[in-house]
Chains A and B, each alone.
Chain A
Amino acid sequence: MHGYQLRAAFEESVGGTWALNIGQVYTTLSRLERDEFVRALPESESGQRPYEITETGRAELSRWFSTPLERTDRPRDELAIKLALAMTTPGVDVTTVVQSQRTAGVRALQEYTRLKARPIEPDDLSWRLVLDSLIFQCEAEIRWLDHCEMTILRHRPGLAAPVSAPVEERERNSR
Chain B
Amino acid sequence: MSSVLELRGVHRTHGRGPAAVHALRGVTLRVRPGELVAVMGPSGSGKSTLLNLAGGLDGPSHGEVLVEGRSLAELSRRELAAVRRRTVGYVFQDFNLLPSLTAVENVALPLELDGVSVRRARRAALASLSEVGVTDIAGRFPDQMSGGQQQRVAIARALVGERRLVLADEPTGALDSGTGEAVLRVLRERVDAGAAGLLVTHEARHAGWADRVIFLRDGVVVDSSGPLDTADDLLEHRA
Interface string of B207-226 (1 = CB under 8 A from A): 11111011101101111111
CA distance A113 to B185 in the complex (A): 10
Please tell me if the beta carbons of B238 and A106 are within 8 angstroms of each other in the complex.
no
Query: Known: A138-B204, A139-B203. Is A166-B217 also a contact (CB below 8 A)?
Result: no
Please tell me if the beta carbons of B209 and A117 are within 8 angstroms of each other in the complex.
yes
**What residue in chain B is nearest A105 (Cβ atoms)?**
B204
Please tell me if the beta carbons of B223 and A109 are within 8 angstroms of each other in the complex.
no
Please tell me if the beta carbons of A106 and B234 are within 8 angstroms of each other in the complex.
no
| Contact of A58 with B by CB under 8 A | no
B223 partner, pick from A103, A110, A153, A169, beta carbons under 8 A: A103
Please tell me if the beta carbons of B215 and A168 are within 8 angstroms of each other in the complex.
no
* Chain B positions 136-175 with a Cβ under 8 Å from a chain A Cβ: none
**What residue in chain A is nearest B223 (Cβ atoms)?**
A99
Min CB distance B72 to A, Å, is 20
CA distance A110 to B203 in the complex (A): 13
Chain B interface residue count, Cβ-Cβ cutoff 8 angstroms: 33
CA distance A161 to B218 in the complex (A): 13
Please tell me if the beta carbons of A163 and B218 are within 8 angstroms of each other in the complex.
yes
| Contact of B77 with A by CB under 8 A | no
Residues of A within 8 A of B25 (CB): 163-164
How many A-B residue pairs have C-beta atoms within 8 angstroms? Tell me: 81
Query: Known: A139-B204, A172-B237. Is A107-B226 also a contact (CB below 8 A)?
Result: yes
| Contact of B196 with A by CB under 8 A | no
Please tell me if the beta carbons of A103 and B225 are within 8 angstroms of each other in the complex.
yes
Q: What are some 22 contacts across the A-B interface (CB < 8 A)? A: A99-B215, A102-B215, A103-B224, A106-B204, A106-B207, A107-B225, A107-B226, A109-B207, A110-B210, A110-B213, A110-B226, A117-B185, A135-B208, A143-B204, A163-B218, A164-B26, A166-B27, A166-B221, A167-B221, A168-B29, A168-B224, A171-B229
**Could you tell me which A residues sit within 8 Å of B by CB distance?**
99, 102-103, 105-107, 109-110, 112-113, 117, 135-136, 138-139, 142-143, 146, 149-150, 153, 161, 163-164, 166-169, 171-172, 175
* 13 extra A-B contacts, CB within 8 A, seeds A112-B208, A168-B29, A168-B221: A103-B225, A105-B204, A109-B208, A110-B208, A110-B213, A113-B209, A138-B204, A142-B204, A150-B42, A161-B222, A164-B26, A168-B237, A172-B237
